[in-house]
Amino acid sequence: MPSRVDSQLVEALLRGERRALARALSLVESSAEEDRDAATELLEALHPHRVEARRIGITGSPGVGKSTLIEAWGTKMAEAGHKLAVLAVDPSSRKSGGSILGDKTRMPKLSNHANVVVRPSPSRTALGGATTSMRESIVVCEAAGFDTIIVETVGVGQSESEVADMVDLFVLLVLPNAGDEVQGIKRGIMEMADVVLVTKTDVDNQRAQLAVATYKSALRLMLPSQPEWESPVVGVSAYDGSGLDVFVKTIDAYFATERQPLVAQRRALQRRMWFDSAVREHVVSSVLSAPDVRERLTTHQSRNRR
Ligand code: GDP
């Protein structure tokens, strides 16, 4: 069977050309049947060329300051010479019919930086589909030479754990009003966080420091997000830049050479989980698309409606 991989696309992508990157990302995001095979072949062609990047997940409820933080911190990283890809998962976009996450207008400075690509969440995809294409987008960005990949997600139920399962470091942003906030944040999400950032410390620093202390003691009562790592709580302000250096140092400490075996272990576990869920997804979709199953399902559904 002749290969459908567009070798020019692969070469242009490996050279880091922007248009090729946009085309490749659109291909892996597409849910059209005819694009799936081409996307799979493209990923196979890219696989040997990718250098694994630092994958960082950012989550927190709307308004907590995710995009403002990514803009401030990302610009710092890009100016230090890092190549940064910001990808977004927005499970709610299916309902609203559009996406705000990762929108370029939310990160104007960052999205215009030569070292950065900001990719808005593909809209109208099911959550499962969105996360599968996200994993594939990560591979495309790694092959294109990005060394840091930021996956932004809105804090809606299932999406956090799916994102936590595809990144090396999962960062939870929380507001600086600890008392009520800490009660409202689900324990499961706190336990997934490798770093907790208390945002907007410029508004009321004293209150923010109190929030930092409260989150620290709350975390002490919980299971660690992973072995040999104590999730730090850091106060940050995207406005005055305070705490951003500490955040950058925390990330460096996490990816330090001596921790590499632990990072590799986490990735191996994630690959196994990914493989299992891909197999399950495939089995379910082939069973459901079999004509006799479809017929029986339709009969069953119409009977239930009566
Ligand atoms: P997102 O929905 O989590 O992406 O939140 P945004 O980044 O859009 O921020 C929500 C609001 O908080 C906006 O009005 C921002 O200007 C404001 N904001 C974000 N970061 C800070 C900060 O560090 N300090 C202050 N004072 N306001 C901030």
**Residue 97: phi, psi to the nearest 5?**
75, 5
Q: How far is the CA of 170 from the centre of ligand 1 (A)?
A: 20
Q: How far is the CA of 68 from the centre of ligand 1 (A)?
A: 5
Percentage of the chain exceeding pLDDT 70: 86
Q: Which pLDDT does position 128 carry in this prediction? A: 52
* Encoded tokens for 235: 């106060």
Q: Decide whether any atom of ligand 1 lies within 6 Å of the 64 Cβ.
A: yes
Phi, psi angles (nearest 5°) of residue 214? -65, -45
Which atom in ligand 1 lies closest to the alpha carbon of residue 60? 3
Phi, psi of 201 (to 5 degrees): -65, -20
**Range with top average pLDDT, 9-23, 175-189, 274-288:** 9-23
Order of all β-strands in the sheet with 233-235: 116-119, 84-89, 148-153, 54-59, 169-174, 195-198, 233-235
**Ligand 1 within 6 A of 205 CB?**
no
pLDDT of residue 123: 54
10 Å Cβ neighbour count for 306? Answer: 4
Q: Rounded to two decimals, what is the model's pTM? A: 0.88
Q: 152 pLDDT exceeds 70?
A: yes
Mutate which of 59, 61, 66, 68 for ligand 1 pocket (most atoms within 8 A of beta carbon):
68
Region 71-97 average pLDDT? 81
User: 110 near 102, Cβ under 8 Å?
Assistant: no
- Which structure tokens are listed for 25? 């990302």
Q: What is the pLDDT of residues 163-218, one digit of tens each?
A: 888 899 999 999 998 666 666 677 788 899 999 999 999 999 999 999 999 999 99
* In the predicted structure, residue 93 carries a pLDDT above the cut 60: no
Average pLDDT of span 94-122: 71
135 lines ligand 1 (CB under 6 A): no
Mean residue pLDDT across the chain: 85
Size of the chain, expressed as the number of residues it contains: 306
Confirm or reject: Cβ of 153 under 6 Å from ligand 1: no
Top pLDDT among 118 and 286 is at: 118
pLDDT top residue among 181 and 128: 181
Residue 95 has pLDDT above 60, yes or no: no
d(CA 299, ligand 1 centre) in Å: 51
- In angstroms, rounded to a whole number, what is the distance separating the alpha carbons of residues 301 and 206? 58
Strand partners, 84: 116, 148
| Residue 198 bridge partners (DSSP) | 174, 235
**pLDDT tens sequence across 217-231:** 999 988 889 888 999
